[in-house]
Structure 1
Amino acid sequence: MSTRRDFIRTSAGVGVGAAFGALPKPLEAKAPNIISRRVTPVCVASGNGLGAVSRAIEELANGASTIEAVVRGVNLVEEDPNDSSVGYGGLPNEQGVVQLDSSLMHGPTRGAGAVAALEGFKRPSLVALDVMRYTDHHLLVGEGAQRFAVSMGHQLEDLLTESSRARWIEWRARLSDRDDYLSPEESGERIGPFREPEEFGDGLLDSHDGYRPQGTINCDIVDSDGDLSSVTTTSGLSYKIPGRVGDSPIIGAGQYCDNDVGAAGSTGRGEAVIKTCGSYTVVEMMRSGMHPTDACLEALRRIVHVTVEDRLRDENGRPNFNVNYYAVNKNGDWGGAAIWSGARFAVSVNGDSRHEDSAYLFERG
C-alpha cells in the first residue's frame, strides 16, 4: 500500500523530469590521448665528472638503465687514485682513515639507497646500489654498512694511496707546535704544496674553511624516455672529525630525483646543503616551472639567506664557502650554478661531452 511519503517522493521525481526533461546518462570516462615525445639523453655532473658523463651516456646507448649508467660513470672517479676527493685515494679523516659516503635514486622505481662513514670500499656507490636493490632500508652507516658490503661480496681494501697518506701526515704535522710531530720543514720531508691552487681554480674542488679541500662527484641523467636517476659519492671533508657525514649520503640533500620532474645534486659545503634540503629544493623549483639553472640559483639564494654565522661570512656578509648544484629535468633541459664564480660542471649531450661554466650569485674579487 502506497503511503503519503511514497506519493511525495514519486511526485517530486516526476516534477524534476517535467521541468528539465529526462536526466542524461553519465558520460563514460575516456583516457586522455597520450602524446609520446622522445627526449635527447643528457647527463650532467660536477667538474670532475667529464669522463663520468661520457661513460654514462655510452652505457645508456648500450642498454643500461639510468641508475646503472650513472653509477658506472662515477665508478671511474671512485677508482681513480689521482682524484683525492672520491673513493680510492680520497683524503682521510683526522685519524688517517678514509670514510666514504654515497647516495642514489632511481626515478622509474622510486628506489633509493645510501651508505655513510663506510670504510674499506673504494666504490661506495655500488654498495648504495645494493642497499636500494636488496634491502627495505635506504641508509646504512659505519660498521653496519661495512658488514653489509662484505656480505654482498664487495672487496675490503686499504683506500690510502702513497700520496693521500703523505698529505695526511703533513696535515697532522702542522696541527700544533706543541705536540711531538715534526713539521715538514723540521723533518726535511716536505711532500709538496699543501693546497693545490689549480684544483680550486678549476672549480673541481672547494674549500670548506679556506685551506681544507672537499670534493665530491654528483651525476644526474635523463634518457630518451624521460626516465631519470641521480648519484652522489664522496670521501667528504678532508681531515674531518671521524664519523662526520656531509650532504652526499643524505637523500634530498646531496642528491634527489623525482621521475615526474627531474634530478639534481650538489657539491661543496655539505652542512649548508643539509640545512636547506638542497637538492630536493632544486627539484621542487623545477616542479614549479623553473629552468634547471634558475632552480639551482634559487636553492643557492636560500643558503645565502640562512647563513647568519659570522664565522661563515665574509666582510660583506656573503658566504665564505662555496656550494654547487647540478640539475636536469624530464624534458632534457640542464644547468648548473654555484654561489661563487669560477666553477664548472660537466655535461654530455648529442655526443658532445664538455665543461660548461656554472651560473653564479657572486663574482670572486
Structure 2
Amino acid sequence: MADRRQFLKTSLLGASALAMSKPLAAAGSTGTAGKSATVRVASTWDFGIAANQAAWAILDKHGHALDAVEAGVRVPEADLKNHSVGKGGYPDRDGKVTLDASIMDAEGNCGAVAALEHVTHAISVARRVMERTPHVLLAGDGALQFALEQGFEKENLLTPEADQAWHEWLKTARYQPVINSEVRDYGAGKPAALPGGKDNHDTIGMLALDAHGKLAGACTTSGMAWKLHGRVGDSPIIGAGLYVDGEVGGATSTGVGEEVIRNAGSFLVVELMRQGRTPTEACREAVMRIVRKKPKTAKDIQVGFLAMNRDGEVGAWAIQSGFSYAVCDAKNQRALIPSKSVYPA
C-alpha cells in the first residue's frame, strides 16, 4: 500500500512538473514563433504606413525581419517632410540635428547610436554597431567617426524649413512640448504652429515577424525639438525605447523619452507578455506604471507603447488619446489603428 501511495505521489509530481514546463517549451529556445504565427509588421504613427510598405516588400518575399525593420524605418528617416525623424528633423536649441536609433533581433543582438550628427540613416549605423563592433551603443563624435569609417556619407541634416522653424523658436526660446503635435508656445498667450504646419509625432518604432518565425525591431528619431544639446531620449536605449525577445515578443515606445527610460518601458512590456498578458494588456500596464508614479505630470505628457508577441498579435496603449499605429500583413496592407488611452480626447 505504501509503495502504491509512493508511486501515485511520484507520478503526480512528475505530471505537475511536466505541466509547468509546457509554457516554457511552447515559448521555445530558438526565438522562433509557433505554426499559427502571422507574418506581420507594425509601427508607430501614421507615417508608419509608408514605412510598413517598405518592410512588407521584404517580408512578403520570405525575407528576414531584421532587414525589413531597417528598410522600413529608413523611409521616414529620408522624408524631408517628417520633422521628427532623420534628415529634416528639427534641431536642438543650438541648431544641431542629432539622431538616436536602435535595432534588435530575436536572439538579443542589438546596436544603437545616440546624438549622431551628419548621417541621415541612423538606423543603418546602429545595425553596423551591432554587427561589426563588440559594443551596443556609440554616441556623439564617436558614433559619427564610426559611421564615416563604415562608408556613410557626411551631410548637413538641417534643412531650410527646419532652420526657419529654429530661428522662429529662438525669438522666445521657450521649451514646452505639446502632446502629439509639433506645436510650441512662443509666449503669445497660446500655442502657435511651426512653419510648414506639419505634425511631429516624434519616434518611429517598428516591430516585425517574418515567415521564418523570427522577430526584430527598430526605433529611430531626431528627438524632441529644441532639446538641450547632448540630450538622449529612450529610442537608442535597449530596454527603454526598444526591446525584443524571440521567445516572447517585442515592444517599442513613443512620446516623452525620459519617462520611458525611468520605467525601462519596452523591457517591462515584454516581461509582462512573458507573464501571460496580451500585447494590449502589457502596454496598458506599462503606461499605468508611469501614470501611478506621476499622476499630476502624466496628464500633460504623452507616452505610448506598441507591442507584438511571438505569434504576431499586436496591441498598444497610450497616456493620451491621439496615438495611432500602422499594421501591415497579407490581408491588410494599410491599416491605421487608434490606440486606446488612459485619458480620452
TM-score bin (small chain): 0.7 to 0.9
Does 2:285 match 1:259?
A: no
| Per-residue deviation, 1:197 | 7.4
| Backbone CA RMSD of aligned residues | 2.2
- Determine the C-alpha separation between the residues in 2 that align with 1:195 and 1:337: 30
Between stretches 276-285 and 50-59, larger displacement belongs to 50-59
Matching residue of 1:319: 299
- Determine the C-alpha separation between the residues in 1 that align with 2:193 and 2:111: 37
Assess if the C-alpha contact under 8 Å between 1:226 and 1:332 holds in 2.
no
1:360 pairs, out of 329, 341, 344, with 341
* Residues 289 and 145 of structure 1, relative CA distance in 2, 3 Å threshold: same
Counterpart of 2:254 in 1: which secondary structure? Answer: strand
Counterpart of 2:101 in 1: which secondary structure? Answer: strand
What is the TM-score with the length of structure 1 in the denominator? 0.78
Assess if the C-alpha contact under 8 Å between 2:123 and 2:220 holds in 1.
yes
Counterpart of 1:74 in 2: which secondary structure? Answer: helix
Matching residue of 2:56: 57
Counterpart of 1:122 in 2: which secondary structure? Answer: coil
User: Which residue type is aligned with residue 193 of structure 2?
Assistant: P
User: Which residue type is aligned with residue 295 of structure 1?
Assistant: A
1:112 pairs, out of 98, 110, 113, with 110
* Residues 196 and 337 of structure 1, relative CA distance in 2, 3 Å threshold: farther
1:53-132 equivalences under 5 Å are: 53-107=52-106, 109-132=107-130
1:283-362 equivalences under 5 Å are: 283-307=270-294, 313=297, 318-352=298-332, 353-362=334-343
What is the TM-score with the length of structure 2 in the denominator? 0.82
User: Which residue type is aligned with residue 332 of structure 1?
Assistant: G
Assess if the C-alpha contact under 8 Å between 1:96 and 1:165 holds in 2.
yes
Assess if the C-alpha contact under 8 Å between 1:347 and 1:354 holds in 2.
yes
* Residues 126 and 75 of structure 1, relative CA distance in 2, 3 Å threshold: same
User: Which residue type is aligned with residue 241 of structure 1?
Assistant: L
Counterpart of 2:300 in 1: which secondary structure? Answer: coil
| Per-residue deviation, 1:195 | 7.5
Matching residue of 2:4: none
| Per-residue deviation, 1:61 | 1.9
Counterpart of 1:250 in 2: which secondary structure? Answer: coil
1:281 pairs, out of 247, 258, 268, with 268
Residues 146-172 of structure 1: per-residue CA shift (max 9 Å, x gap):
000000000010001111010001101
User: Which residue type is aligned with residue 227 of structure 2?
Assistant: K
| Per-residue deviation, 1:196 | 7.6
| Per-residue deviation, 1:38 | 4.5
Does 2:231 match 1:244?
A: yes
- Determine the C-alpha separation between the residues in 2 that align with 1:306 and 1:244: 23
Counterpart of 2:71 in 1: which secondary structure? Answer: helix
- Determine the C-alpha separation between the residues in 2 that align with 1:113 and 1:66: 15
- Determine the C-alpha separation between the residues in 1 that align with 2:57 and 2:315: 20
| Per-residue deviation, 1:53 | 1.3
Does 2:153 match 1:155?
A: yes
| Per-residue deviation, 1:193 | 3.3
Residues 305-361 of structure 1: per-residue CA shift (max 9 Å, x gap):
2226x6xx2xxxx43100011111001110111111222111112241210010111
- Determine the C-alpha separation between the residues in 1 that align with 2:158 and 2:62: 34
1:140-219 equivalences under 5 Å are: 140-175=138-173, 193-194=193-194, 199=199, 205=201, 215-219=202-206
Matching residue of 2:14: none
How many residue pairs align between the two structures? Answer: 299
| Per-residue deviation, 1:57 | 1.7
Counterpart of 1:319 in 2: which secondary structure? Answer: helix
- Percent identity among equivalent residues? 38
Counterpart of 2:87 in 1: which secondary structure? Answer: coil
Q: Deviating runs (4+, > 3 A) in structure 1?
A: 32-36, 195-198
Does 2:205 match 1:223?
A: no
* Residues 254 and 36 of structure 1, relative CA distance in 2, 3 Å threshold: closer
Counterpart of 1:95 in 2: which secondary structure? Answer: coil
* Residues 40 and 359 of structure 1, relative CA distance in 2, 3 Å threshold: same
Unaligned stretches of 5+ in structure 2?
A: 1-6, 8-24, 175-185, 187-191
